[in-house]
Amino acid sequence: MDLAVNVLVVNAGSSSLKLGVLGEDGTVLAEHHAERWQGDTGPLKDFLTDAPDVDAVGHRVVHGGSTFTSATAIDDHVRGEIEALTALAPLHQPRALAGIDAARELLPSIPHVACFDTAFHTTMPSAATTYAIPESWQRKWQPRRYGFHGLSHSYASRRAAELAGTPDARVVSCHLGAGASLAAVASGRSVDTTMGFTPLAGLVMATRSGDVDPGLLVWLQRAGLSLDELEDGLEHHAGLAGLSGVGGDLRDVRRAAGAGDPRAGLALEVYVHRLRQGVAAMAASLGGIDLLVFTGGVGEHDAVLRADTTAGLGFLGVAVDSNRNDGPGLISADESAAGVWVVPAREDLEIAAQTRAVA
């Protein structure tokens, strides 16, 4: 396809729908965010009434499993393959399918492309994707570490490398929002990440636990928790919300900690501890670090978090200049061995670029 096209980006979340039309230079020509979307065509139909004409549609799909390793043109067969992966992402996959169905119904004559969050991480080596579980389990179910937030990590790591003028850089990308993960990126390729088979693994998040000893989960089930209770607790009542008692918004936790709430103070300490630990682990997977990148709602807007995180990473040669730490852009100190960048999240640009490359 000629690159001079308008791309409609459809980003269907677990309960919301984000729509945007991007021009060839990345300009957002029109956008709309429906907070409580029920999967119907109404919001998209209304949006298209006044939006510029579009030449292709790019859909964010959270899970591509082992089947989809890059953006893929959608036909009935591909749609069926995406649906077959629903068990791996039961909250997000049905919503992505609803977005695909609605857009294909309203725009049947133009190309539709699925852009997968997991695809970016399919370049990880086997040592980073393989679980040390019984061989019989591996043969029967073939579980692996998939990784998520790939569209964000792909854009943020590439953009930082472009800005720094170092395309072959070893980048640790920090996508920090309600969901949070890190990625180790070498010369544009993911070699490790903190999330695993599901988006529950890794860092402490707003309401998700991050890494928990599997033995504790077995113990909790034997102590009387049902599988449903365990899943609900780990997904919706853990993380910052579970630690602080004031909810999962880091701003609320910080305010409570400032007012002397010890639970909120501990929540901040745990959050930063796990984040520093994760950055160091990603740097180890890369054999060093050239660029550290913060993106996502928290990563972009919480200067205190960036300062607290990097304050414990001096052994990696990372240092932030307090006078620059308002972002976006370069925030590292002149003496820092690694460049520290704040890059605004633009999954829409990544989806549009992948769509143009395929459509």
> What DSSP string runs through 158-202?
HHHHHHHT-TT-EEEEEEESSSEEEEEEETTEEEEES--SSTTSS
Roughly how many angstroms between the first and final C-alpha of the chain, as a whole number? 6
117 is catalytic: yes
Structure tokens at 280: 């160091």
* Structure tokens given for 354: 């992948």
Catalytic residue among 117, 290, 302, 308: 117
260's torsion region: left (phi>0), alpha (psi -120 to 50) or beta?
left
Among 273, 271, 249, 246, smallest CA distance to 260 is for 246
Q: What is the DSSP string of 310-350?
A: HHT-GGGT--B-TTTTT-SEE-B-TT-SSEEEE----HHHH
Contact by Cβ (8 Å): 21, 8:
yes
Residue recorded with tokens 């636990």? 209
Active site residues: 117
